[in-house]
Amino acid sequence: MTHDDAHPEQDDQAPDLHPEAPAEEQRRQQAFALFNEAPAAYLLLNSTGRIQEANSATTGLMGRAQGVLVGRPLLHFLASSTHGSFEQLLKQAAQSGLRQRGEATLLHHDGTPFDVLLDLHAAPEGEAPQFRLVMTDITAYKQAHRTLLDASSAHEQAIQEHAARIRALNQELEQIIAVFLQQLHLPTARAMNYLTMLRRTLDELAEESEHPLINSERAVQQITALLASMDRYMQVRGMRLRVRTVDLNSVFREVLKSVQPQLLERDIQISADRLPSVQGDTRALYVVLDEYLSNAIKFTKGHDPARIRVLVREAETEYLIGVDDNGAGFNMRQKDKLFQLFGRLHSSKIFEGTGVGLVSVRRACERFGGRVWAEGKVDQGATFWFAWPKEPRIWD
């Protein structure tokens, strides 16, 4: 009997000893190679955040050899200001089992800080280490972001400074205009008084002398009216507004009282729809209705009987209120001039006026977020509208 014959069963069993060992080892080596050569910076951490493995991209990113990194807590290489946020990130990943993302500041080997994005993955239960961490250098992105924020902040500051200069210039201009108007009132009043006294003194004037004197009086009267209109416009511009509930019916009754002198010796029928209560300022709304009604009375001159009606329409976000008349009307191709300063459409020889009143209306409405417009036909009347928001916002 040979030696081989003495133990035949051993030869049959020898090839079956650990047949999967070489394949498992090969898979581990391949996995490690993939991990180590991955372009992204990978770390394997245990449950306390201690580094178990670090690939080549990580050593390059952190400027430290594997021997320096492995076995140490990652916190050791983080700026102290980000310790708390990393510990919270680790805790959330452990509790949820889901990927967590955050930011941290790493310290290079020379102490230079740089920003990284952290993607933390909890490993399946039973595996070690417990966390896989991917780090992405976002220093350039953060620097660009900070540069953009600084540029935006500087731009915003420049805008604020520019707006402040504009406000200061506007205030200075308004003060100059106010003083100018005040200074004009006295000499204009004196000139008018002088002309009146002169006419009374010269009872019997030759016709050729009386005509220039009358023209002079009219010119001074026009200047006085212009001063009054400019005064109102400047008051509207500088008015300190307060939003409160205003009954437009009450305001309209006050306006009717103020225009009574304009109704003398005129056949005018004035009516109004039931007006709403709105949120606004009583003085501003008085200016709007007073200018619109006075405008209608003026441009119905020569149309007897004259008919004027205040109209009301309600929309979802605003009230539309118009003053309709059967007067001179206007050509719609010129409607854009109506609400411009001194934007007259009719000769002052036919209809007196300064071309400032409608500008005051526009300004009063715009300060509350409202708007103005007009519709008309020549010799068939006109309707002047303003839209008043239900929830006004005061603008300077």
- How many other C-beta atoms lie within 10 A of the C-beta of residue 14? 8
The stretch 369-391 carries a mean pLDDT of 94
40 has pLDDT over 80:
yes
Local confidence band at 272 (pLDDT 50, 70, 90 cut-offs): very high
**Residue with the larger pLDDT of the pair 311 and 223:** 311
Least confident of 151-155, 195-199, 293-297: 195-199
pLDDT of 19 above 60: no
At the second CATH level, the architecture of 240-396 is 2-Layer Sandwich (3.30)
For the chain, how many helices (H) and strands (E)? 11, 12
* pLDDT band at residue 345 under the 50/70/90 scheme: low
**What are the residue boundaries of the structural domains of the chain, listed by start?**
25-137, 165-238, 240-396
User: Which amino acid, one-letter code, is at 223?
Assistant: I
Nearest Cα neighbor of 213 from 223, 222, 202, 224 is 202
237 falls in which pLDDT band (50, 70, 90)? low
DSSP 221-279: HHHHHHHHHHHHHHHHHH-----EEEEHHHHHHHHHHHTGGGGTT--EEEEEPPPPEEE
Q: Which residue has the higher pLDDT, 214 or 322?
A: 322
Closest CA to 94 of 39, 26, 48: 48
**Mean per-residue pLDDT, 325-331:** 90
More confident residue, 228 or 386: 386
Query: Exposed e or buried b for every residue in 151-164, given b needs 16+ CB within 10 A?
Result: eeeeeeeeeeeeee
Q: Could you give phi then psi for residue 97, rounded to 5 degrees?
A: 75, 10
Q: What is the mean pLDDT of the chain?
A: 82
CATH placement of domain 25-137: 3.30.450.20
pLDDT higher than 90, residue 17: no
User: Which SS3 state, helix, strand or coil, does residue 105 take?
Assistant: strand
> Average pLDDT, stretch 185-198?
73
User: With 70 as the cut, is the pLDDT of residue 182 above it?
Assistant: no
Q: What is the pLDDT of residue 84?
A: 92
Question: For a pLDDT cut of 90, what percent of the chain falls above it?
Answer: 39
Band (14; pLDDT cuts 50, 70, 90) = very low
Q: Mean pLDDT throughout 280-307?
A: 91
Contact 97, 51 (CB under 8 A): no
The least confident of 23-32, 170-179, 327-336 is 170-179
- Indicate the burial class of 51 (C-beta count within 10 angstroms; 0-12, 13-18, 19 or more): buried
* pLDDT at 135 (0 to 100): 93
The pLDDT confidence band at residue 326, using thresholds 50, 70 and 90, is very high
Give the count of alpha carbons within 13 A of 87, CB side only: 9
Res 1 pLDDT > 50: no
158 versus 127: the higher-pLDDT residue is 158
Would you give the DSSP letter of residue 123? P
Judged by average pLDDT, the poorest of 201-215, 265-279, 364-378 is 201-215
Give the tens place of pLDDT for each residue, 81-114. 999 999 999 988 888 888 899 999 999 888 889 9
pLDDT(369) > 50: yes
Q: What pLDDT was estimated at residue 169?
A: 67
